[in-house]
């Protein structure tokens, strides 16, 4: 078999898996949430002995439990595992759940009456088409009328002017339908009273703008000799970097087996989980803390990208294949974008004495995908640089969550105005990345580095001196750390056995952003379900099944899964097959400029070589000044 064990699933493999599953599972109401490759054991991949292809199908049916997890070996055409998921750790929400929750809400007599009472037409099918239902996960705060273990969502609603309107400009405020998906009914309609629809449209499409700028001249990116990367299937090589890409149903964009100049760096690097907790007291928002990756299957919400719009220049695209809720193959074309970008200068010096200048251009390889999860759009961009630096940049855009408010109900500290009678709650976006290191083949050790200001003494009379100190993090508990920008704190992955020209062990450092941590109290539902957000750094010794910062199945789960669970026994990590978990977060206090669509906001982190090379590795860059005569 010539197929690489980490090659993404082909349409044929998905068809086979669904077909085999159906022979053993006769429920015609089986709805699929996702399909994914069960990545073979790391040791088997590395030794070249991984020879089976296991496809995992997750979904729900009429069984009334948390759904099914079916693993199908498509090389032999057999179900090798069929697990019923329990009440407390269910299959992710899929398109079928969204569809059912929407239909149940729109056909509920009490809900229809409450909408009509607000002066909104509901008489015809066309009227109802204009009402947008957003079903949200109810986990953490299920309505007391929903029996424990039932699958639940909360549905909020918005009114559109027409099918192409901004779906969020007019919240039908104060109305939340609590839906029991297991019993297929609205169990409770929460109605906190009428608030008028905000008066202004929130159109952001070009056709609705009063004018379009005419003074932006064309900016063309051309590479007349083609790009400098090579692609073989889903394997990519560029400037000494070599790696594979895939899309995971939960983790989204994944880099596999990343090496630089034949030296291994990372076995696997990807988002593991994210949570978006809201800080507002408004009953429409106070409970919101969606685990977008695992509850909604972020990978299945990937965009098909468009040349010249999403990506500019000489692009190579990768398609991905997924499953629809009925079990058909769905191909998302152009789902992963690969291209090079000029990135200003790599280095420069002007020598005054000789009046000569030496300067080299920097460029980066960009691997990116964009996921739309309800109102928000998240872009994940991996950048590889000529000097060995690796960067993850998250781009947050889309439409902020909103409330309709009056002068009496407006609470600016928790929900600033973004338009007339429209407020947007304060919230956080908390992302946890799992970085499975194999620096120079491993094993690896983890250090915390920071600056220590030296005391005033005879050697330091003015108190101006400081030094870099380094501390070995030897077990899981001592590796639960937070950022400290005031101390220039960073974390360093070291290979103690691999030394550079100066006899110093080679390293890569993780340079974090100045992130907040999770604000919710640790013993709150949000604090328990998003516990990974308490620390910016976690570390574990590699374990095959530890991939999920909040636990593998989070729908209706009460929390404490994932990292708190993995690290409970405080395992030794002093020198090991090291997995680093990095939480990066931002707090969003919405502003008028975020409406009606949000200019991209950025966050992320860098991985930077420290003594991995013996000197600046970019001295060999050509000194050509492109575009000059
Ligand atoms: Cu936000």
- Report angle CA 565, 567, 572 to the nearest 5 degrees: 155
**d(CA 584, ligand 1 centre) in Å:** 14
**d(CA 540, ligand 1 centre) in Å:** 30
Give the pLDDT mean for 578-604: 98
For the beta sheet containing 422-423, the strands, ordered from the edge strand earlier in sequence to the opposite edge, are 403-404, 422-423, 417-419
Q: Which among 376, 378, 383, 490 is annotated as catalytic?
A: 376
The CA–CA distances, whole Å, from 28 to 22, 25, 31, 34, 62 equal 9, 8, 8, 17, 9
pLDDT, tens digit, for every residue of 171-223?
999 999 999 999 999 999 999 999 999 999 999 999 999 999 999 999 999 99
Model confidence at 29, pLDDT cuts 50, 70, 90, reads confident
Q: Which among 61, 97, 282, 292 is annotated as catalytic?
A: 292
Kindly list the protein residues that place their beta carbon closer than 5 angstroms to ligand 1, a single-atom ion: 588
pLDDT, tens digit, for every residue of 489-531?
999 999 999 999 999 999 999 999 999 999 999 999 999 999 9
**d(CA 431, ligand 1 centre) in Å:** 12
**d(CA 382, ligand 1 centre) in Å:** 21
**d(CA 271, ligand 1 centre) in Å:** 18
Q: Which two tokens stand for residue 590?
A: 């919405």
87 burial via Cβ count (<10 Å: 0-12, 13-18, 19+): middle
pLDDT, tens digit, for every residue of 428-479?
999 999 999 999 999 999 999 999 999 999 999 999 999 999 999 999 999 9
Residue 28 has pLDDT above 90, yes or no: no
317 catalytic per annotation: no
292 catalytic per annotation: yes
Q: Which of 380, 410, 377 is nearest to 392 (CA)?
A: 380
Q: What pLDDT, on a 0 to 100 scale, did the predictor assign at position 26?
A: 75
Q: Which two tokens stand for residue 123?
A: 């008489």
pLDDT, tens digit, for every residue of 133-183?
999 999 899 999 999 889 999 999 999 999 999 999 999 999 999 999 999
**Torsion sign over Cα 556, 558, 561, 563:** positive
**d(CA 399, ligand 1 centre) in Å:** 8
């Amino acid at each position: 078999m010539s197929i690489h064990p980490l090659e993404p699933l082909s349409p044929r493999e998905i068809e086979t898996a669904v077909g085999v599953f159906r022979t053993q599972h006769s429920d015609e109401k089986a709805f699929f949430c996702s399909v994914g490759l069960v990545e073979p054991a790391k040791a088997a991949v590395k030794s070249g002995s991984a020879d089976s292809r296991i496809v995992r199908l997750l979904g729900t049916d009429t069984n009334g439990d948390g759904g099914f997890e079916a693993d199908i070996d498509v090389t032999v055409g057999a179900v090798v595992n069929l697990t019923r998921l329990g009440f407390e750790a269910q299959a992710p929400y899929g398109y079928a759940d969204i569809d059912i929750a929407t239909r149940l809400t729109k056909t509920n007599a009490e809900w229809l009456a409450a909408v009509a009472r607000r002066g909104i037409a509901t008489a015809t099918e066309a009227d109802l088409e204009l009402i947008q239902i957003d079903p949200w996960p109810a986990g953490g705060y299920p309505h007391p009328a929903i029996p424990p273990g039932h699958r639940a969502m909360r549905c909020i609603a918005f009114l559109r002017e027409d099918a192409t309107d901004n779906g969020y400009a007019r919240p039908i405020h104060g109305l939340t339908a609590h839906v029991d998906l297991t019993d297929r009914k609205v169990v409770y309609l929460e109605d906190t009273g009428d608030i008028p629809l905000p008066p202004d449209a929130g159109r952001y499409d070009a056709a609705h703008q009063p004018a379009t700028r005419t003074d932006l001249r064309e900016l063309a990116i051309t590479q007349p000799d083609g790009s400098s990367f090579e692609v073989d299937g889903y394997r990519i090589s560029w400037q000494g970097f070599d790696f594979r890409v895939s899309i995971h149903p939960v983790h989204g964009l994944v880099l596999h087996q990343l090496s630089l100049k034949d030296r291994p760096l990372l076995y696997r690097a990807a988002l593991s989980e994210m949570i978006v907790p809201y800080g507002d007291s408004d009953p429409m928002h106070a409970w919101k803390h969606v685990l977008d990756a695992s509850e909604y299957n972020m990978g299945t919400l990937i965009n098909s990208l468009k040349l010249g719009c999403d990506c500019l220049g000489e692009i190579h695209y990768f398609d991905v294949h997924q499953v629809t809720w009925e079990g058909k193959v769905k191909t998302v074309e152009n789902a992963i974008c690969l291209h090079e970008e000029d990135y200003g200068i790599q280095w420069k010096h002007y020598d005054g004495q000789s009046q000569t200048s030496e300067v080299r251009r920097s460029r980066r390889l960009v691997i990116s995908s964009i996921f739309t999860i309800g109102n928000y759009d998240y872009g994940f961009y991996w950048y590889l640089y000529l000097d060995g630096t690796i960067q993850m940049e998250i781009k947050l855009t889309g439409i902020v969550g909103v409330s309709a408010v009056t002068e009496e109900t407006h609470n600016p500290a928790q929900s600033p105005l973004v338009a007339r009678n429209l407020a947007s709650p304060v919230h956080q976006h908390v992302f946890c990345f799992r970085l499975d290191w194999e620096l120079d083949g491993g094993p690896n050790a983890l250090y915390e580095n920071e600056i220590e200001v030296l005391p005033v003494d005879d050697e330091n009379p003015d108190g101006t001196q400081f030094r870099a100190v380094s501390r070995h993090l030897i077990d899981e508990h001592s590796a639960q750390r937070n950022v400290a920008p005031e101390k220039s704190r960073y974390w360093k992955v070291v290979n103690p056995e691999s030394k550079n020209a100066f006899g110093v062990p080679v390293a890569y450092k993780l340079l974090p952003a100045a992130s907040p941590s999770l604000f919710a109290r640790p013993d709150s539902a949000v604090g328990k379900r998003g516990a990974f957000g308490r620390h910016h750094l976690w570390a574990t010794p590699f374990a095959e099944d530890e991939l999920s910062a909040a636990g593998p199945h989070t729908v209706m789960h009460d929390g404490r899964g994932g990292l708190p669970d993995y690290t409970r026994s405080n395992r030794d990590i002093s020198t090991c097959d090291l997995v680093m978990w990095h939480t990066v977060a931002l707090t969003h206090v919405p502003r008028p400029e975020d409406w009606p669509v949000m200019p991209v906001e950025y966050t992320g982190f860098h991985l930077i070589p420290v003594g991995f090379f013996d000197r600046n590795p970019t001295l060999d860059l050509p000194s050509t000044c492109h575009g000059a005569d």
